[in-house]
């Protein structure tokens, strides 16, 4: 998670295999932190967490009724991702590469190879899933997920992003600083 890259050219200049290995390692490293955050945050409230997780990992930590997969067709995933207003920093970063088309192609191939099998597996699994669809509003998509979880009315929910350096992020980091998953799971 703490790997530093000089610029977009170094980040996207890796081979597809190196990029995939780095992404998978990052995801694995972050999952324990996310689970610890969820334990702490869900003590007295409902928590909705947006994270990257494979069905095999989900099977280990919960049952299908507690997860909703938000999926996208793996092709053109970079354009879909970059066109989201909440992902403007990534869009700016990939566009800062000296050869944007090459950076985009590397990213597309990496993400497609990582996601095509999972995408198909999710669609055939017992998990609830919603595919991103430009004909449906964010509110309509949120209503589908809310209905799956039995959350009514939807306006009782609030969505907050935990940003680095905020009081909540610092509190969560302090909470997990000296914990392991086995120590924290009973909290």
C-beta of residue 57 within 8 angstroms of C-beta of residue 31:
yes
Domain with 16 in it: 8-184
Q: Report if residue 131 sits inside a domain.
A: yes
Structure tokens that stand for 9 in this block? 């050219």
In a domain, residue 84? The reply is yes
Domain assignment present for residue 25? The answer is yes
| pLDDT tens profile 21-73 | 999 988 888 888 888 888 888 888 877 777 888 888 888 888 888 899 988 88
The total domain count for the chain is: 1
Residue 112 maps to a domain: yes
Q: How many Cα atoms are found within 13 Å in the side-chain-facing hemisphere of 26?
A: 12
For residue 3, is it within any domain?
A: no
Tell me: the pLDDT tens digits for 121-172? 999 998 999 988 778 887 888 888 888 888 766 555 555 667 777 777 777 6
* Residue-averaged pLDDT of the chain: 82
Local confidence band at 185 (pLDDT 50, 70, 90 cut-offs) = very low
Query: Is 1 domain-assigned?
Result: no
Residue 128 located in a structural domain: yes
- Does any domain span residue 51? yes
Percent of the chain with pLDDT over 70: 86
Task: Report residue 186's pLDDT band, with 50, 70 and 90 as the boundaries.
Answer: very low
Q: Report the sign of the C-alpha dihedral through residues 165, 42, 57, 66, in that order.
A: negative
In this prediction, residue 184 has a pLDDT band, given cuts at 50, 70 and 90, of very low
Averaged pLDDT, 105-130 = 91
Give the closest residue to 13 by CA, choosing from 96, 137, 131.
Answer: 96
Cα separation, 187 vs 179, in Å, equals 11
């Amino acid at each position: 998670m703490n790997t530093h890259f000089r610029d977009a050219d170094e980040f996207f200049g890796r081979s597809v295999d190196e990029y995939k290995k780095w992404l998978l390692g990052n995801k694995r490293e972050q999952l324990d932190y996310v689970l610890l955050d969820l334990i702490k945050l869900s003590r007295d409230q409902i928590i909705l967490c947006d994270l990257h997780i494979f069905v095999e990992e989900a099977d280990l930590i919960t049952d299908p009724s507690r997860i909703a997969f938000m999926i996208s067709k793996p092709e053109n995933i970079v354009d879909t991702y970059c066109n989201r207003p909440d992902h403007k920093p990534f869009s700016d970063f990939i566009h800062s590469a000296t050869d944007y088309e090459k950076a985009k192609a590397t990213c597309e191939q990496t993400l497609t190879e990582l996601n095509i099998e999972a995408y198909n597996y999710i669609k055939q699994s017992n998990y609830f899933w919603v595919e991103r669809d430009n004909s449906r509003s964010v509110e309509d998509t949120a209503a589908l997920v809310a209905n799956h979880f039995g959350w009514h009315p939807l306006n009782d929910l609030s969505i907050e992003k935990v940003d680095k350096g905020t009081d909540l992020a610092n509190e969560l980091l302090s909470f997990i600083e000296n914990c392991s998953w086995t120590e924290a799971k009973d909290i």
